[in-house]
Amino acid sequence: MDLDFWRKKRVLVTGGSGFVGRWVGRALAPAEAELHVLDLAPPKQFEVAHQYHKADMRDLAAVGALLDGVKPALIVHLAGQPGVQSSHDNPVGAYEANVLCTFNLLEACRTRPGVEGIVAVSSNHVYGHQHHMPTKEHEALNGEGTYAVTKLCGDVLSRTYGKTYGLPVGIARMTNSFGGDDHHVSHIITATILSCLRGEAPVIKQSGKDRKGYLYVKDTAEGLLAVAAGVAKKQSLRGEAFNLVPNEAWTVLELVKTIMQIAGMKGSPAVHKPEAEHEDEYLDNAKAREQLGWVPKYDFQRAIAETLEWYKTSGQAHR
């Protein structure tokens, strides 16, 4: 992370009360950035100094008023509907959160000077089924589900505003993030860690053969900041997308067994549907390495060890 670039900057994090948003705030703390958090509710038990804001991002005028008041230099746009199933069940809410809110932010920034860099958060789901792995950013975007398509729309809107209007926005195609302070206790890594700390056999709900990337949230936060800084520094990066993913992909069974080993847990996980269909996803992070200088700092074992320690210290395993 380029601390000199971020020193004393005024930064707006939309969705800043969430899991990744709080870690972005922590990453900015050493730079003494002026942190502004926009969310539906203020972050709970968040130790980083910040100013909290609430605004309806579905309303373009409200977004404009927020920007006029905060006057951010950099924006990390995390706000959205994160759930695959919840998006499927509520497509209107998914559209409003992932498309309309992103459009309003981009349009409000277009008509106001002073924003140096924006990172709009997209998803690994925009790729859908891929034929070439590891998948690079120029490959087809084949996402079909409601969540995937709404994230894809925000992704393409950000490209349009970067390439057509010269807005300093970059796109972060994120994968599964994990780490301490994750309130999504059903996430496979968090759920496995909590099971191990309770002395319970971890549960794999499907076959365990799904292969994806799992990125430590500290690396995720620094990657997001690298995208925002990159488009602020280089006009050629505006509207470009970057895969923020680890160096390797893991099957669910591999990662659960590794967590159990690190936690000193004996036995085997319970696999509920060993014959279920599985997905194979493996994204390439070379573009982010080469053009942003972002490299994941944590290998999986070190990241899991840190995360285990966080949950031991927090006492969450026994709540």
- The catalytic residue positions are 147
Q: Please give the helix or strand (H or E) that residue 188 lies within, else none.
A: helix 188-197
Closest residue by Cα to residue 197 from 269, 264, 268: 264
Q: Distance between CA atoms of 289 and 265, rounded to whole angstroms?
A: 35
Q: E strands, 66-116, where?
A: 74-77
Q: Distance between CA atoms of 51 and 34, rounded to whole angstroms?
A: 8
Tokens 């958060």 belong to which residue? 121
User: Which amino acid would we find at residue 80?
Assistant: G
Could you tell me the CA-to-CA distances from 131 to 126, 183, 240, 244 in Å, in that order? 14, 34, 22, 20
Q: Which two tokens stand for residue 129?
A: 């089924």
User: Which amino acid would we find at residue 244?
Assistant: L
